[in-house]
Amino acid sequence: MWNHAQIFFRSTTAPQSLERPLRLALHKLNSEQGISGNEVRTLDDALSIQTVWVQQHMFSVLCSFFGGLALALSLFGITSTILFTAEQRKNELGIRLALGAPRSHIVWTVMQTLLPTITAAVLLGVALNLGFRNILKHWMPAGANSFWIPAWVTVLLILPSAIACLIPAVRAAYTDPLETLRND
* pLDDT recorded at residue 135: 76
Residue 102 pLDDT: 92
For the chain, the domains span 1-49, 54-183
Q: What pLDDT is attached to residue 69?
A: 93
- Low-confidence stretches of the chain (pLDDT beneath 50): none
Helices 90-98 and 51-88: angle between axes, nearest 10 degrees = 60
Q: What is the pLDDT of residue 83?
A: 82
Q: Give the pLDDT score at 53.
A: 77
User: How confident is the model at residue 166, as a pLDDT?
Assistant: 84
pLDDT of 168: 83
Q: Residue 15 in contact with residue 40, Cβ under 8 Å?
A: yes
Side-chain-side CA neighbours of residue 13 (13 Å): 4
Q: Which amino acid is at 157?
A: L
Residue 66: predicted pLDDT: 94
